[in-house]
Amino acid sequence: MGAERAGEYHVDDLEAALKLAIRHIEGDRVEIVEGVIQQMSPRWGHERPIALIRRQLEARVEELGCVIGSGDIDLPGSSNWFIPDIAVVPFELTENDAGSLVPSQTLLVVEVTSESNGDTDRLVKRRRYAEYGAPLYLLVDRRERTTMLFAEPGPLGYTRVSGPYPFGTPIELPEPFGLVLSTEKF
């Protein structure tokens, strides 16, 4: 490694160093998708379906003893660090303020597409969430004006897909949720 000079740091784990560094970018939500750092600046049209989904989930999430949020999701061993639009996780897993979770610790992950990165949500995140065991992945596709629910994750992707359903079609979330989401106002 050689001698260290002032202001110079040597790291053995580049993945960990990069993931730590992006967490300290002030004022921005930043994620890493397949090794590419992406700043997230959602617009109001993007926030609308997120707010509508949150409202519909809140009571059930409370009953399940969970938290609904958009915290960090790490995909260890890859160059990915996601910040989902919505994630539902067990309350006890949210006690460590400095930590991140992995997809298999979620009950549901929701992504709403944006003009700038819709294919990331449609393709990359869908594949990676399945590979890392997120049990349910709800995709709200604003360009196509559809929703899709993916379930039964595995290393090659999700094996059960519901949709695409046009906006306005109710989406049934299976247990542990056991509720129907309205997509009428998306």
Q: What percent of the chain has pLDDT over 70?
A: 83
Number of domains into which the chain is organized: 1
Q: Are 152 and 130 in contact (CB under 8 A)?
A: no
Strand-pair partners of 74: 81
Establish if 36 belongs to a structural domain: no
Which residues form the domain of 167?
A: 41-181
| CB neighbour list of residue 97: distance below 8 Å, 6 or more residues apart | none
What CATH number is given to the structural domain containing 168?
3.90.1570.10
Locate 146 and state its tokens.
């559809």
Q: How confident is the model at residue 9 (pLDDT cuts 50, 70, 90)?
A: low
The pTM is what?
0.83
Q: Is 133's pLDDT higher than 90?
A: yes
DSSP 8-state secondary structure symbol assigned to residue 104: G
User: Which token pair is 84?
Assistant: 């989902």
pLDDT on residue 2 = 46
Tens of pLDDT, residue by residue over 12-37, are 666 776 676 666 666 567 777 877 77
Q: Is 75:128 a contact under the CB 8 Å cutoff?
A: yes
Q: Which residues pair with 24 in a beta bridge?
A: none
